[in-house]
Amino acid sequence: MAVRSALILQLTSLTLTILLLAVSGEFFKPFNVSYDHRALIIDGKRRMLISAGVHYPRATPEMWPNIIEKSKEGGADVIQSYVFWNGHEPTKGQYNFDGRYDLVKFIRLVGSRGLYLHLRIGPYVCAEWNFGGFPLWLRDVPGIEFRTDNAPFKEEMERFVKKIVDLLRFEKLFSWQGGPVIMLQVENEYGNIESSFGKRGQKYIKWAAEMALGLGAGVPWVMCQQKDAPTTIINSCNGYYCDGFQPNSPSKPIFWTENWDGWFTSWGERTPHRPVEDLAFSVARFFQRKGSFQNYYMYFGGTNFGRTAGGPFYITSYDYDSPIDEYGLLREPKWGHLKDLHTALKLCEPALVSADSPQYIKLGSKQEAHVYHMNSRTDELERLEHGSLRSCSAFLANIDERNAASVKFNGRTYNLPPWSVSILPDCQNVVFNTAKVTAQTSINLLEFYAPTPFSSNISLKLHSMRQNELSTSFSSWMTVKEPVGIWSDKSFTVKGILEHLNVTKDSSDYLWYFTRIHVSSDDISFWKESNVSPTVTIDSVRDVFRVLVNGKIAGSAIGQWVKIVQPVQFVEGYNDLLLLSETVGLQNSGAFIEKDGAGIRGRIKLTGLKNGDIDLSESLWTYQVGLKGEFLKFYSLEENEKADWTDLSVDAVPSPFTWYKAYFSSPDGTDPVAINLGSMGKGQAWVNGHHIGRYWTVVAPKDGCPKKCDYRGAYNSGKCATNCGRPTQSWYHVPRSWLKESSNLLVLFEETGGNPLEIVVKLYSTGVICGQVSESNYPPLRKLSADYTSDGEILSSGTNPEMFLHCDDGHVISSIEFASYGTPQGSCKEFSRGHCHSTNSLSVVSEACLGKNSCTVEVSNSAFGGDPCRSIVKTLAVEARCSSTSGTRLSA
């Protein structure tokens, strides 16, 4: 009892200490950060650092602690994030550091978990974020030119960068103040566009470096993709592979600020997927070849809530195929395999930081070794600190894209799969190979729940969509039409065509152009006799553009600066010609984005008239910004009842430019919530006034997705694409913190026509987990990290490979669907027994795993009561189901 009381007292004291540190802003003992040619130097010691990219506005503050904790558990030392100028200063001089933009809170949470922070201030961020992170008001500053030697731009840029640095200093968030911020970034991938600006670009980048250093942040600054970065700034690499990167000075370390572990997705396109074997290969090769700081872009991707998605045409999800998925769940095997990789790299860190450069050994035509030897000074420190000695660490690489190789190293033979790296922390024993995945595979399911109607006039209907699939449908949807065209007294009329963003200031995606055309009886007769139609021709438009005549859609165009040639039908007399310009994310990359604009470029003509063409470019046009429902806030809890809602009948015909609303109850438990809008067309959605983003049910091409993804060889975003022939995005994340227990208001604005009666709300969780581990696999790395020694005996001779299975928090393994120790065939959800099978397989796995959140099963003959087939390497394959410990659900 005394021991237990002492332990509770210690834990209470620790919790109190953490809280006091969080209040004071000091999470570490103050330390300095510098660097040499080899690595970042933290508190006097070189470090090999794994960084996890997490963008704070792409999650809610309630999600941040879980994401940060899972990043740390996955082996991250650092969290990296951009700073989003247009989120923090949407109106010049008016700052926002609340909610998802509470930067200080985010940094404090990072520090409270003992992690460092790399903050990329930019302030240009790209990031597939609207307008690259620039606030739209910036383009209206007189005389401004973005990202070049331009005084107005430099003045605004310096003001914002200084604002952020001063904020960090005031809140005591820099390392030398006891905070987690160890590094900053100014500009972003400027080298990709610098040539567009000539000498002015060179002057600008030199100014940006001097400006940043002059702010006195007291930590190193980075410029990524910047070959001509000044000597006082670290230049770093972005890309799928950076093992061949060299900084522009021998005095700088090799940093990788963006390892693209997936890719972003555009509406109407396939979903990119990067196999973890290749991703791990890229990371291992980077550290093998003298790299010292590597960041996953992204480790958690998140969601482009509201209208924050850039583009044009980037979808609302920013999942990025990252190790932590959009909803905050672990993506397996990516997360687990990388965790093992990080553990192996940490075992090598003493040798990696000790050696200034590795010994290179050619092992074959496409095979090589890099060996890091510890110097005598570091050897002594290591002996004193750890009580053991690892004289060297080695990486053995096979860069052959097709063939495995057998190589000799240090008198031993090693078998290397194609396109792989083996890691030997003691230069003898392999603890990890990038191509050998033992982490579980997780399959996430969307599970049906039956929400409780909040009032008698809302009923829930269950109907079979197809075999074994259930869906929810609300009969009490309500609707109100959005006026087509001019609806407010704030509209205005001018001569000529105005650029879209100059009018809207990006306050809305939508801009109406209205003019009136008079058609004579002679024109009508001419069209009938000639069998022709009048045509509206526009030189160039973007992103989505619609032509309406007398309130009806005549046609639409989708694309980036495409020409419109649209036949129209007029009646005799006056005709209303309406043009609707829609943005789908503002340009976020490239040079001169402030000049890119939106809406219409060039001339508008009406052709096919009896008396010749009419140039409408100089006509009187009336402009209307946005939607009536948008500006009257039909989507808000406070204002939605002021609209003239009417009941939507079950047989109503889908119609464009329509608002819909309904209520639903929050599902039980803590699992993430998703809503399926696949029955809708194109529009925007809100839950309880929170803008969950744009939706658009456009289908990806049917071809281009391989049946099997081959990890071998250089990756590109189209190599292992998925989701062919399906809508690019149907499911949308609704954060738990945005929901109430009941009476949750869902509001949609539908542009093209859809059926809200088929909208489904489901819970999202890991439903199926699979493992496949062989006798020949390496011992578990989670034990190695604690028990590793360097005398040639990594673990005791009795240590065998293990299978580790885990469900989400709040879930347990509820059933074992398949288990076979022997020679099982197939892959997850398609396992079958081979000719060799232990009859104890199911009972052993069930005893170890059923009813538990996680379990470990030893992969050995002794664990399964004997050898089921001698002289054959056995494998354990398991498929299990996870179920929530709270509530009852039906899988769909």
Active site residues: 189, 258
Q: Are 665 and 458 in contact (CB under 8 A)?
A: no
Backbone angles phi, psi at 880, to 5 degrees: -135, 160
**At 635, is the secondary structure helix, strand, or coil?**
coil
Sign of CA dihedral 523, 525, 530, 531: positive
**At 241, is the secondary structure helix, strand, or coil?**
coil
Rounded distance, CA 771 to CA 753, Å?
Answer: 44
Q: Are 638 and 554 in contact (CB under 8 A)?
A: no
Residue 448, phi-psi category: left (phi > 0), alpha (psi -120 to 50), beta (remainder):
beta
**Parallel, antiparallel, or unpaired: how do β-strands 682-687 and 690-696 relate?**
antiparallel
Residue listed under structure tokens 């007292």? 9
Structure tokens, 699: 């289908």
Structure tokens, 845: 């796995």
Structure tokens, 304: 């482009």
How far is residue 24 from each of residues 15, 108, 219, 254, 847, measured CA to CA in Å? 14, 10, 20, 34, 48
Residue listed under structure tokens 């500006």? 631
Q: Residue 228 class from Cβ within 10 Å (0-12 exposed, 13-18 middle, 19+ buried)? A: middle
Structure tokens, 167: 């904020």
Q: Are 402 and 750 in contact (CB under 8 A)?
A: no
Rounded distance, CA 210 to CA 165, Å?
Answer: 14
Residue count of the chain, please give it. Answer: 892
**At 675, is the secondary structure helix, strand, or coil?**
strand
The CA-based angle 222-228-232, given to 5 degrees, is 45
**At 554, is the secondary structure helix, strand, or coil?**
strand
Q: Are 785 and 347 in contact (CB under 8 A)?
A: yes
Rounded distance, CA 331 to CA 335, Å?
Answer: 6
